[in-house]
């Protein structure tokens, strides 16, 4: 069911503040873009209640052994894949906790396949191939709410017992979907009319960052604001992990570094080993007994 006409979508309106942007200097162009971008955080702030509801769904799903899958087309799909791909290296979580599916498949990550958003049957096929099941969370992303692929993904998820979230960047979507949570971030007319990779894309990334980060915090992947569940898989992360161990335990850099390697490059395990003066196996047991929450172990 269409809830509004395309021409009435705020993302399709002409922005009066940039109506003569083609006649501006580089400095003026950049200032116009920057001024428009500054309003995005306030628009996201207005949707915090719905974002909170989404985080409750994603946290509960993962705690129950289920998964989260972002579904989108074009820029929306690429942002979903981006956010999902960052979870394993940042928080040492299984690769299937957060997932990204884009209309048109992986090829659409690099090359525009715009017609893919108009193929609702492909969404069902893609989610079936993914193995979507009851209890998973489908987060459909469509800035205008006009992607049939996204609407279909929400409807299919709903039909098999998955929880559903609809993220749009208009007051009303072009295509309605009976989602459990609807996040509306009304970003308004774009600097370049209809170019939703700009303000709407920025808002989308902010919301996805909030959902995934808040979920990780609630699952014990953060201590204070430190990334304590990272796995030191490269030189940068070895150094970061060593410095975090220093900060949390008070030992010197070399001691922290040695303990990190003794812990199999698991920062959280290394901290417990030092704090409790115990073996790697005992540290792992203590963490497991407390759901992986470092604070509950060392405090």
Task: Tell me which residues are annotated as active site.
Answer: 86, 117
Distance of CA 285 to the CA centre of its chain: 30
What are 75's two structure tokens? 């820029």
Nearest to 137 by CA among 216, 47, 46, 53: 53
CB within 8 Å of 257: residues ≥ 6 apart = 238, 242, 245
Nearest to 216 by CA among 29, 59, 22: 59
Between vectors from CA 257 to CA 254 and to CA 219, what angle results, nearest 5°? 145
CA dist., res. 121 & res. 140, Å (int): 15
Q: What is the maximal distance between C-alpha atoms in the chain? A: 68
What are 226's two structure tokens? 């430190």
CA dist., res. 172 & res. 16, Å (int): 21
């Amino acid at each position: 069911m269409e809830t509004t006409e395309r021409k009435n979508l705020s993302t399709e309106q002409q922005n009066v503040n940039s109506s003569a942007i083609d006649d501006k200097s580089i400095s003026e162009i950049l200032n116009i873009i920057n001024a428009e971008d500054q309003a995005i955080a306030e628009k996201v702030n207005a949707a915090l209640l719905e974002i909170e509801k989404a985080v409750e769904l994603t946290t509960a799903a993962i705690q129950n052994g289920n998964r989260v899958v972002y579904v989108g087309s074009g820029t929306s799909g690429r942002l979903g894949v981006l956010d999902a791909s960052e979870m394993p290296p940042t928080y040492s979580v299984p690769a299937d906790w957060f997932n990204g599916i884009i209309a048109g498949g992986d090829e659409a990550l690099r090359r525009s396949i715009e017609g893919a958003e108009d193929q609702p049957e492909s969404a069902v096929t893609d989610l079936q191939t993914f193995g979507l099941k009851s209890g998973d969370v489908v987060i459909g992303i469509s800035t205008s709410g006009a992607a049939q692929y996204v609407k279909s993904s929400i409807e299919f998820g709903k039909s098999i017992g998955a929880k559903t979230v609809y993220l749009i960047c208009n007051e009303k979507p072009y295509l309605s979907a009976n989602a459990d949570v609807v996040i509306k971030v009304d970003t308004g007319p774009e600097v370049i009319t209809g170019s939703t990779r700009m303000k709407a894309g920025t808002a989308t990334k902010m919301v996805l960052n909030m959902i995934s980060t808040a979920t990780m915090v609630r699952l014990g992947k953060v201590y204070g604001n430190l990334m304590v569940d990272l796995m030191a898989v490269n030189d940068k992360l070895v150094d970061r992990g060593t410095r975090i161990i220093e900060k949390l335990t008070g030992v010197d850099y070399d001691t922290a570094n040695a303990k990190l390697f003794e812990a199999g490059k698991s920062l959280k395990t290394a901290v417990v080993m030092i704090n409790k003066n115990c073996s790697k196996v005992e540290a792992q047991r203590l963490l497991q007994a407390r759901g992986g929450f470092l604070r509950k172990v060392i405090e």
